[in-house]
Amino acid sequence: MADSETSNSIRVIRKWLNRAEGAVTPQARQGREVVCDYCMRTINPREDITSYLSNKLVYDDNELSPDFPPFHFLKAYCEECTRVEILDDCQGYNEILLISKLNQKRCLTDFDILDYSSSSEGIPYDPIELWEVGHNTVTFDKFVKTLNSMQQHNVSLGPADIADEYRINNINPHSIFNENGKIDISNNRRKEIQDKISKDNSQI
């Protein structure tokens, strides 16, 4: 993307961030504590909160968040897990990393943009194909339906949700797909990854 196009996109994003000031986090809207989606630590009022947003999901079951059009608010990171850049930006998705404050009402204030990746940037990997590398006992569709049932609401997933499962298990997603986004690992390596993911999930 040309610099002028990036600058224009950033200006548009800042405009709707101004309108989103004071928006309730998705977790709080569902009556839940605001927790870090990476380490699961509770994020307390007055702490910085880093948020990952995407303009679309890896599937099409959910509508856009009413508070963050035209983006889905997908992940929250605490101060200890905060990031300053999008690690696994996916071509075809507009992705944003924001930093803000969590106030006493569990609303987000004082937004600033940490990183932005346009749909023409990143690696053209398929998030669902990436997810399937680590799971051989259930389909992605069944996984989403089970997750929705457990959470008692429709769960929204973006590329970072898929990639982070590997990073939590000390697996770099970029070691699984090549620069063209194609899965590029041996069957033995795939089995190692599946065993590691399965062991981690069994402890939840």
Residue 193 near residue 135 (C-beta atoms within 8 A) = no
Average pLDDT over residues 114-133: 94
pLDDT at 173 over 70: yes
Q: Spell out a b/e string for 62-81, using b for 16 or more CB atoms within 10 Å of the CB, else e.
A: eeebebbeebbbbbbbbeeb
Residue 29 in tokens = 């809207």
Write down which residue in 117, 141, 170 finishes a domain: 117
Span 7-31, pLDDT tens digits: 777 777 787 777 777 777 777 777 7
pLDDT at 1: 43
Q: Does any domain span residue 122?
A: no
Same domain, 73 and 13: yes
CA distance 58 to 99: 23
Q: Domain count of the chain?
A: 2
Same domain, 140 and 86: no
What is the β-pairing status of strands 48-54 and 72-77?
antiparallel
Tell whether omega for the bond before 70 is within 30 degrees of 0, i.e. cis.
yes
Span 84-98, pLDDT tens digits: 999 999 999 999 999
CA distance 159 to 91: 10
Residue 77 in tokens = 């990171």
Average pLDDT over residues 157-178: 95
Same domain, 113 and 153: no
Same domain, 108 and 18: yes
Write down which residue in 117, 151, 182 finishes a domain: 117
Same domain, 109 and 135: no
95-102: strand order across its sheet: 23-24, 107-117, 95-102, 48-54, 72-77
Which one-letter amino acid corresponds to residue 189? R
Domain residue limits at 82? 3-117
Same domain, 73 and 110: yes
